[in-house]
Amino acid sequence: MGRINKRALLGRLQRMGTGSRADLAKSLGLSQPTAGKIVDQLLAMEVLEEVNSLAKPDRRETSHGRGPAPKLGRPGRLLRLNRTRPRFLGIQLGVSETSLAPLPVGANGEDHWTLRVPTPDTAAEWLRQLRKAAVRIRRDDFWGVLVSVPGIVDEKAGRVLFSPNLHWTEGTDLPALIRQVWNAPLFLVQEERALALGHQSVDPSGEDFLLVDFGEGVGGAVVVASKLYAHPLPISGELGHTPVLGNQRPCGCGAVGCVETLVSTRGLLQSLAEAGTEGPHTWPALADWINQRGVPAWLAQALDAAAVVIAGALNVLGLRRVVLTGSLAELPSSVFRYLSGAIVQGAMWGRFGKVECELAPRRRTAGLVAVGIDRLVIPMAEHERRQETLLHVASTHGSG
């Protein structure tokens, strides 16, 4: 129970932002001596840190950004996840760009990368880029290296099985490659799963959701009962590779007609060019065009196709909430309104309840840190994970 209570306390503090020992004990149903002992252990590990209660409150502690009324008397000491000292190295291996950042345990909110380098076409050149990055990130005491990777990823084995947009990773031992630069425990995380973990760790609502990310590809991940959905086979959330009738565009996966060839950044710019529009066929130009003229017919058709895929996933999973991240958030709000309206129209929940669609920033770094906490800070055996899940389900039903 010790490790389960530690993880519960960390999760609660992550949602609260800051809190006192008494607040944590009460919210978790623990005695104050038990909660205090856990806090002391986590302080000694430098997982937590103490801050003055008069410090500017975390936005998660406030209502609509307004802080609580100041308390009279001697200022107390509040706790939060340690934001002072980087403990992990986060790496995002993207199709065109690789991003790196030292990350503290208390990383949260939107992504902020320290360094960005081009993603080359070979493993050898990528290693060379990492060596150059290491000169600028001068640390050799990371607790672990956490890597977000696109494609179908066997996270337990640390292998990329298939990557439609980055094929060279399929035959590369990425952990061995990275350890030539940073010799530390290393974990690969499928990129959409990292995004979902990040959103789940930062968003205090905790309701089940389907996350869909738009960018150089289109992918998804599912959180159910506050846990990331996992399957014995590493194939899940591949929404972008659902075929669309009448679409003849070839996809990097080897198929023809995948929906991501229409709604990825590359697909949308291709459609912009094919529409015969004047001027540059760039992402800012597309945003300006929509601002001036509204959602064109070709974009509406692409969004309709994406909505059918997303609504179908919601119907299969029985979910009513979808979180949209990535490149679509950079386009005018009319695009989100159109897409969310089409999703609601196709989702069964819309017939007798409410379907929630929301735009959110990418929180990949928070997701990577969540993996670091789970695998390195407070690792658990499989039977402990099952017990943790049962306790969570019981507490959720009890609170309802």
Enter the pTM of the model. Answer: 0.87
Closest CA to 87 of 65, 108, 104, 111: 104
388 in a domain, yes or no?
no
Give the separation between CA 313 and CA 317, rounded to whole angstroms.
6
Query: Is the distance from CB of 147 to CB of 186 less than 8 angstroms?
Result: yes
Indicate whether 271 pLDDT > 90.
Answer: yes
Segments forming the whole domain that contains residue 191: 88-195+364-368
pLDDT tens digits, 256-270? 999 999 999 999 999
Tell how strand 356-359 and strand 218-224 pair up. Answer: unpaired
pLDDT tens digits, 34-50? 999 999 999 999 999 99
CATH of the domain at 121: 3.30.420.40
DSSP 72: P
Indicate whether 391 pLDDT > 50.
Answer: no
Task: Give the amino acid at 132.
Answer: K
Query: Which pLDDT value is given to residue 197?
Result: 93
Domain check: are 255 and 241 in the same one?
yes
Domain check: are 166 and 304 in the same one?
no
Domain check: are 303 and 161 in the same one?
no
112 in a domain, yes or no?
yes
pLDDT tens digits, 191-220? 999 999 999 888 766 689 999 999 999 999
Q: How many domains does the chain have?
A: 3
Task: Tell me the Cα Rg of the chain.
Answer: 22
pLDDT tens digits, 320-342? 999 999 999 899 999 999 999 99
Residues 6 or more apart from 119 whose CB is under 8 A from it? 93, 94, 95, 96, 97, 98, 126, 129, 166
Domain check: are 212 and 346 in the same one?
yes
> In DSSP terms, which residues pair with 256 in a beta bridge?
250
347 in a domain, yes or no?
yes
Tokens matching residue 110 = 């939107």
Tokens matching residue 104 = 């503290």
234 in a domain, yes or no?
yes
According to the 3-state scheme, what is the secondary structure of 19-58? Answer: ECHHHHHHHHCCCHHHHHHHHHHHHHCCCEEEEECCCCCC
